[in-house]
Copies of this chain bind each other. A is one copy, B any other.
């Protein structure tokens, strides 16, 4: 059987759950490699994927006998079939953080489920440690992101709007082998850089501006995420202390990221150093990256998690001075046995365009 499905079945078994309805399309893509509209059922003995006529041909040609997945066209599935899928299943799991209350009730009724139980992100937890193929895809997404950054350094000119730069990022990605954007790009110049979640505006780039570029693409469904803060014309003196402090902490965090590192301590180290200098870190220090651009684990003060080999996470400290400017520097990073390997490799020193 498909090893990812086998692994999920083992985890379910350990929790006495005999069946599961997987409806989150990202989890389905992870488990069986299919990117379509449909639902995956893990019944007692079978793996069943139900989709509609638009996708049947593509799904049939993607799956192999080795996957052990039965594909059904939704128009051939009778209400009796639905009622029989989970016969003799004591507990059937569902994704309580994805399924709406109304779908929850609909499923219970349609499948005649007695004990419909929460699975506490069982698939998302499995997704946290990446396998070889996943890491290759993320590496490729990071490579395209690095080359996009190099391209932008030549592309960005005084007088251009933030929006124009954000379109160019999207154009570059799709013209250079990526599936598309991993998330809406942030292009925040001058005072706009003081907002961590700025949306590109019609503001034009001016000499003396600082520009925060936070962007990433998808490759075979896998994301990259990188931020660089660059300068137009020259570096304003009052920015340097903040830039140096952010960069120092971004690099120190890379030193401290390894199999076994505690996420809460990682966050605290940066936040404490910022506080010594009268600043603070107003968002998480990092997050997992994979099929979703934001996934487990979150590196913050809220939860203590130990990093593990083959996790892919971001390292993105930032300081934001309201009404003035902001600096954020971010890499996507692979955790290894002995340390970590940054997968985005663009220069982090002062870059003046």
Residues of A bordering B, CB below 8 Å: 54, 94, 96-102, 104-105, 118, 163, 167, 170-171, 174-175, 195-197
Contact = CB atoms under 8 A, between A and B. Distances in A.
Given A163-B174, A167-B171, A197-B54, A100 B102 contact: no
Contacts of A105: 96
14 contacts: A54-B197, A96-B102, A97-B100, A97-B101, A98-B100, A99-B100, A99-B101, A100-B100, A100-B101, A101-B101, A101-B104, A167-B167, A167-B171, A167-B174
Contacts of A98: 100
3 shortest interchain CB distances as A-B pairs: A96-B102, A96-B101, A101-B104
Contacts of A163: 174-175
A234 to B, nearest CB: 30
Contacts of A196: 54
Nearest to A99: B101
A35 B98 CA distance: 23
Contact of A118 (B96, B102, B171): B102
A113 to B, nearest CB: 13
A118 B102 CA distance: 9
Contacts of A167: 167, 170-171, 174
A196 B54 CA distance: 9
Contact of A97 (B54, B102, B170, B171): B102
A97 B103 CA distance: 7
A195 B170 CA distance: 25
A29 to B, nearest CB: 15
Nearest to A174: B163
